[in-house]
């Protein structure tokens, strides 16, 4: 498959051009480099009605046939990984190697999810009756994805939704539509017409979808603010909803750590993908005994890691993905400057019109400063000193978010004890950013609603149906 040809939607098994177009910008240059279709309301209706029609036969296919198609999809994605990675880098900004990590991760994800089987529970099996609960699909799924991990987030939704027997209309972010449109194209001949639809468009398309009466379920990943609008939109028809939202994840570094062993891991736990990861470390609490040592090591890394155009050899971190996010990060930096916070910065970044910000550490800002309280979603990390474990856990938990967190300590038992007290859906001890297809991922508090991944995530695309059979 060629990746530099036109980008079209997949609607009811066909390739469909937009009635209009949206610009796609390369964040490393700030320049428009491609156009993506802008799905009209009429085209969306066609996608939903095609998906509804396809649902009737898709849900009754044997599970093994649906599994096989997901495995075929994983193979096609693997075959196209390199070409897709180049498109990924141009639209998302991440260096090609990192793009490949995401694409190959999605290949594994498709394969792993394809092997899942929804459970059947038997509550009673006696001479009098059998009571059996199994899980049935919901209908047409509306899937809305963000721009930071466009392929992974699309696959996290598509794989369980389709395995469960639903059909889907998938919408990427307006900032990163191209790779997802290519996924639709790659998989078009694998799934029956109408099973997988991919539409793209501007800011109006998301609300048009979440209020569309044809959907039974919304699976949304994005910011907490948008998640609240999505939940409100879903209420009208009582659509089922899964929301994976923002985070302001704390990492706690205990005094016993081996700084040389952990500094690089902590650095990339905060700054990988230019810090645009929902589960990145966004507040770094460091015990006073190791504070300066860690700060100096992180700053040294910030000065050596190459930030630039992801298409260039040797680039480790790319630009911020879009102008809105770039301006938001610049705003946080400005706020830190205005409040005379100590700002430490890494190497210079290109000044060519791309959305680049140097890697920035804010040295022990007050707990109530914006850079600590808000999700930056960009390379500006507050480092905060602590000397009392109960106090730091209270500070880590003093957030409306509850997505993930990390604890770094040589004493694993102590690390786990601290991890258990952190009020988030995922906590890592001496590692970071590690997520698995077979393990539930769930934001607590305002970081989410429901679960993705694992059997629990699969069951979010299904409803229990209990059958009582009298035998007497
Ligand atoms: P966003 O909320 O601005 O947009 C996400 C998606 O929603 C996009 O496709 C957008 O077009 C669409 N959208 C916007 N307004 C809508 C509306 N009113 N109704 C329906 N759809 C609408 O988020 P973003 O800026 O693309 O992504 C960054 C955010 O996503 C961060 O807060 C990050 O933490 C979060 N995120 C969370 C996870 C997770 O798994 N918890 C994963 C990745 C990103």
Segment 138-173, tens digit of pLDDT: 999 999 999 999 999 999 999 999 999 999 999 999
Residues 286 and 218 in one domain: no
Q: Give residue 472's pLDDT.
A: 79
Pocket test for ligand 1, best of 222, 325, 399 (most atoms within 8 A of CB): 222
- The question of whether 456 is a catalytic residue gets the answer no
β-bridge pairing 444-445 and 401-402: antiparallel
> Does ligand 1 lie within 6 Å of residue 244's CB atom?
yes
Residues 333 and 195 in one domain: no
Residues 71 and 14 in one domain: yes
pTM: 0.97
3-state secondary structure of 330: helix
Residues 357 and 452 in one domain: no
Residue 276, in any domain of the structure: yes
Residue 229 CA: nearest ligand 1 atom is 18
**Bridge partners of 198?**
10, 170
> Does ligand 1 lie within 6 Å of residue 242's CB atom?
no
Residue 403 CA: nearest ligand 1 atom is 41
Residue 1, in any domain of the structure: no
> Does ligand 1 lie within 6 Å of residue 174's CB atom?
yes
Residue 332, in any domain of the structure: yes
Nearest-CA residue for atom 39 of ligand 1:
244
Pocket test for ligand 1, best of 102, 152, 226 (most atoms within 8 A of CB): 226
Tell me the per-residue pLDDT of 412-449, one tens digit each, with 9 for 90 and over: 999 999 999 999 999 999 999 999 999 999 999 999 99
Residues 188 and 96 in one domain: yes
Q: Give residue 155's pLDDT.
A: 98
> Does ligand 1 lie within 6 Å of residue 148's CB atom?
yes
Residues 97 and 129 in one domain: yes
Residue 4 has pLDDT above 80, yes or no: no
Q: How far is the CA of 172 from the centre of ligand 1 (A)?
A: 10
pLDDT (mean) for 346-350: 97
Q: Give residue 235's pLDDT.
A: 97
- The question of whether 65 is a catalytic residue gets the answer no
> Does ligand 1 lie within 6 Å of residue 377's CB atom?
yes
Residue 28, in any domain of the structure: yes
pLDDT (mean) for 92-104: 98
User: Annotated catalytic residue: which of 39, 278, 375, 452?
Assistant: 278
Tell me the per-residue pLDDT of 283-313, one tens digit each, with 9 for 90 and over: 999 999 999 999 999 999 999 999 999 999 9
Q: In the structure, how many helices (H) and strands (E) does the chain have?
A: 15, 22
Average pLDDT over the chain, rounded to an integer: 97
Q: How far is the CA of 427 from the centre of ligand 1 (A)?
A: 22
- Write the CATH number for 166: 3.40.605.10
Residue 4, in any domain of the structure: no
Where does the pLDDT of residue 5 fall: very low under 50, low under 70, confident under 90, or very high at 90 and above? Answer: low
Residues 211 and 307 in one domain: no
Residues 371 and 459 in one domain: no
Q: How far is CA 377 from the centre of its chain?
A: 12
Residue 145 CA: nearest ligand 1 atom is 9
- Write the CATH number for 421: 3.40.309.10
Most distant CA pair in the chain, distance: 80
Residues 266 and 344 in one domain: yes
Q: How far apart are CA 255 and CA 252, in angstroms?
A: 10
Residues 227 and 356 in one domain: no
Residue 441, in any domain of the structure: no
Q: How far is the CA of 340 from the centre of ligand 1 (A)?
A: 32
> Does ligand 1 lie within 6 Å of residue 378's CB atom?
no
Q: How far is CA 120 from the centre of its chain?
A: 30
Residues 240 and 342 in one domain: no
Name the region of 254 (left: φ>0; alpha: ψ -120 to 50; beta: rest): beta
- Name the CA radius of gyration of the chain, rounded: 23
3-state secondary structure of 292: helix
> Does ligand 1 lie within 6 Å of residue 207's CB atom?
yes
Residue 22, in any domain of the structure: yes
Residues 96 and 139 in one domain: yes
Residue 324 CA: nearest ligand 1 atom is 25
Tell me the per-residue pLDDT of 44-82, one tens digit each, with 9 for 90 and over: 999 999 999 999 999 999 999 999 999 999 999 999 999
Where does the pLDDT of residue 6 fall: very low under 50, low under 70, confident under 90, or very high at 90 and above? Answer: confident
> Does ligand 1 lie within 6 Å of residue 226's CB atom?
yes
CA angle 24, 30, 33 (to 5 degrees): 35
367 lies in which domain range?
A: 250-436
Among 395, 407, 392, CA closest to 368: 395
Q: Give residue 64's pLDDT.
A: 98
> Does ligand 1 lie within 6 Å of residue 375's CB atom?
yes
Q: How far is the CA of 455 from the centre of ligand 1 (A)?
A: 24
Q: How far is the CA of 382 from the centre of ligand 1 (A)?
A: 23
Q: How far is CA 443 from the centre of its chain?
A: 12
For the chain, give the percent of residues with pLDDT over 70: 99
> Does ligand 1 lie within 6 Å of residue 245's CB atom?
yes
Residue 442, in any domain of the structure: no
List helix spans (H) across 80-211: 81-92, 96-114, 150-163, 178-187, 205-210
Q: Is the dihedral of CA 401, 231, 43, 323 positive or negative?
A: negative
Q: Domains in the chain: how many in total?
A: 2
């Amino acid at each position: 498959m060629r990746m530099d040809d036109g980008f079209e939607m997949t609607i009811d098994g066909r390739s469909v051009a937009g009635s209009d177009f949206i610009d796609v910008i390369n964040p490393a240059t700030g320049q428009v480099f491609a156009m993506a279709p802008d799905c009209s309301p009429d085209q969306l209706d066609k996608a939903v009605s095609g998906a509804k029609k396809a649902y009737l036969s898709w849900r009754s296919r044997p599970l093994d046939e649906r599994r096989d198609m997901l495995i075929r999809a994983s193979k096609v994605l693997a075959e196209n990984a390199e070409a897709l990675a180049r498109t990924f880098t141009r639209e998302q900004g991440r260096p090609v190697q990192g793009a490949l990590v995401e694409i190959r991760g999605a290949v594994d994800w498709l394969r792993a999810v394809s092997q899942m089987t929804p459970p059947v529970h038997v509550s009673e099996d006696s001479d009098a009756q059998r009571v059996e609960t199994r899980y049935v699909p919901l209908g047409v799924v509306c899937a809305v994805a963000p721009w930071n991990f466009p392929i992974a987030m699309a696959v996290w939704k598509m794989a369980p939704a389709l395995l469960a027997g639903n059909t889907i209309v998938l919408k990427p972010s307006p900032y990163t539509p191209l790779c997802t449109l290519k996924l639709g194209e790659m998989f078009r001949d694998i799934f029956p017409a109408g099973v997988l639809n991919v539409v793209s468009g501007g800011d109006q398309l998301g609300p048009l979808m979440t209020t569309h009466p044809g959907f039974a379920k919304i699976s949304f990943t994005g910011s907490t603010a948008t998640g609240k609008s999505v939940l409100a939109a879903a209420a009208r028809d009582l659509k089922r909803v899964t929301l994976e939202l923002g985070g302001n994840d704390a990492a706690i570094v205990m005094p016993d750590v081996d700084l040389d062993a952990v500094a690089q891991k902590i650095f990339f736990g905060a700054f990988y993908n230019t810090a645009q990861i929902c589960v990145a470390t966004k507040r770094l609490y460091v015990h006073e005994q190791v504070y300066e040592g860690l700060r100096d090591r992180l700053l040294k890394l910030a000065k050596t890691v190459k930030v630039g155009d992801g298409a260039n050899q040797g680039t480790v971190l790319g630009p911020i993905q879009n102008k809105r996010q770039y301006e938001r990060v610049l705003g946080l930096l400005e706020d830190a400057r205005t409040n005379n916070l100590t700002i430490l910065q890494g190497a210079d970044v290109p000044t060519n019109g791309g959305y680049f910000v140097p890697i920035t550490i804010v040295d022990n800002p007050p707990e109530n400063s914006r850079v600590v309280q808000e999700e930056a979603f960009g390379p500006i990390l507050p480092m905060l000193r602590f000397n009392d474990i109960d106090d730091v856990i209270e500070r880590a938990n003093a957030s409306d978010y509850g997505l993930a967190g990390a604890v770094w300590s040589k004493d694993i038992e102590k690390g786990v004890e601290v991890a258990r007290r952190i009020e988030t859906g995922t906590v890592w001890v001496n590692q970071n950013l590690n997520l698995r297809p077979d393990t539930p991922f769930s934001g607590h508090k305002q970081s989410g609603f429901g679960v993705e991944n694992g059997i629990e995530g699969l069951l979010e695309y299904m409803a229990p149906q209990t059958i009582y059979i009298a035998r007497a």
